Amino acid sequence: MRMPKHFYGWRMVAIAMMVNAVSGGVYHQGMAIFFLPLQRGLDITRAATAIPMSVARFTGGIQSFLIGSLVDRYGPNKILFFAGLMGGLGFLLLSRVNSYLMFVLVLLVVLATAFQAAPDQPVFITCARWFYKKRGLALTLTTAGYSVGTMIITPLVALAVPRFGWQNTAVVLGILVWIIVIPLSTKLKASPEMMGLHPDGADVPPPSPKTKIHGKLQAQDLTLRDAVRTRFYWQFGFIVGLRSMVWAVVSIHIVGILTWRGVDESMAGIMIGLMHGFAIPIALFMAWCGDHWHKHKVVSLGDLTIVVGISFLVIWDSLVLWQVILITLLLAPNQGTWPLGWATVAEAFGRQNFGVIRGSLQTIMGIFSVGPPIFAGWVYDQTGSYFYALSPLIIFLAAAVLLMWTLPLQGRTEVNNGSAKTQ
């Protein structure tokens, strides 16, 4: 069926992209720019700096379960408004940090509450509900907002911190969060049914997922209780747990890792933006592939290139420009793998309880990701090198590649030009 030219769901995707651009640019990648200045300013070790950032990921995973439930029950608007309010306040408080204890409290109590799950869950769940046949593309565009923000905002943060100081930069970022996220929170529509529409603008609702539980076929949207009784749920949970271990280290320590390999600190921030610039066309291509082939296999191949990229970080010493560009290109598919993975989950279990199911899986991610960045910081403090911190990540991610490739398909998987086939 031909999609309506001006389907309202694409407005939800545009809002989600703008929210994620701010979230990704100022916090998820922007905080990496603050890592070394905070370490020097507070006169602490890299392990100590990494501890609250790692714990923030853990608490974010726990919050994801709660926030997913709240979004499913009360809608996305209130949650996103709260996230914007807390996020702006968090950066204003960060600018006043003058002790390690205050840094820990601001990061864990305010910033982690605002950014680890609160902006992501409302917009992601909303877009998953507005689309069925084009869900892979919609969620990829939603996630591409992180790359857009990182490509534009993060390099500016990297240039602003040494010129104006990290405290003044934090003030500007807090105001930016307020003036963008809070107004956008009022524009979200929780589902197409609220406007008398169906996903994709179709004339009829999409079919319910057909999922086997203990050998019995379930032809309806699954609850979390039903989902956890499937092999798909636990294998996917282990996969995202392994992947989150890798990206927790990379995202927190990326500036430190690049400077360890001879890249200037400001240039490292610019290279983060370049990586996410590469990520946008790569993610869109992966979304197209996911709509025409098995999504889980596209994710597996994307992760395989990341294994190669991290391997180069381990074996190459002083990086020259072409090596840095190649590594950023190989790491870029990360922004395409996550939305396709979540689209697979939505296909398996349906739209109705997607928020709480995704939140529970993100709790697993939080548990897996809390230790590795602290270990990486400790390794650097002891050896002056990230070699023994990065090497195990190659093995973990390679295992995730194999597990994703062999993921037991559940529900309806869009293949062959978008036509749905029951697996």
Q: Which residue has the tokens 């939505």?
A: 346
Supply φ then ψ for residue 218, to 5 degrees. Answer: -110, 120
pLDDT given for residue 417 in this prediction: 37
Is 387 a residue whose pLDDT tops 90?
yes
Reported CATH class of domain 9-191+210-418 = mainly alpha
List the beta strands (DSSP E) in 101-214. 210-213
- For the chain, give every domain's residue range: 9-191+210-418
Cα radius of gyration (the chain): 20
- Of residues 90 and 138, more confidence is placed in 90
Please calculate the CA angle 188-194-195 and round it to the nearest 5 degrees.
90
What pTM did the predictor assign?
A: 0.72
Contact 96, 37 (CB under 8 A): no
pLDDT given for residue 58 in this prediction: 78
Task: Determine how β-strand 419-422 pairs with β-strand 412-415.
Answer: antiparallel
Rounded Cα–Cα distance for residues 35 and 14 (Å): 30
Q: Collapsing DSSP states into helix, strand and coil, what is residue 216?
A: strand
Contact 249, 373 (CB under 8 A): yes
Contact 212, 377 (CB under 8 A): no
Q: Cα dist. 101→2, 13, 82, 121, 170 in Å?
A: 57, 39, 24, 29, 18
Q: Cα dist. 243→62, 80, 302, 339 in Å?
A: 17, 26, 12, 13
Task: Tell me the per-residue pLDDT of 64-77, one tens digit each, with 9 for 90 and over.
Answer: 777 877 887 788 88
Is 117 a residue whose pLDDT tops 70?
no
- Of residues 186 and 215, more confidence is placed in 186
Task: Give the mean pLDDT of the chain.
Answer: 85
pLDDT given for residue 283 in this prediction: 85
Give me the amino acid identity at 344: T
- Of residues 392 and 193, more confidence is placed in 392
pLDDT given for residue 5 in this prediction: 57
Is 423 a residue whose pLDDT tops 70?
no
How much is the average pLDDT of 334-343? 84
Q: Cα dist. 108→40, 113, 126, 250 in Å?
A: 20, 7, 26, 20
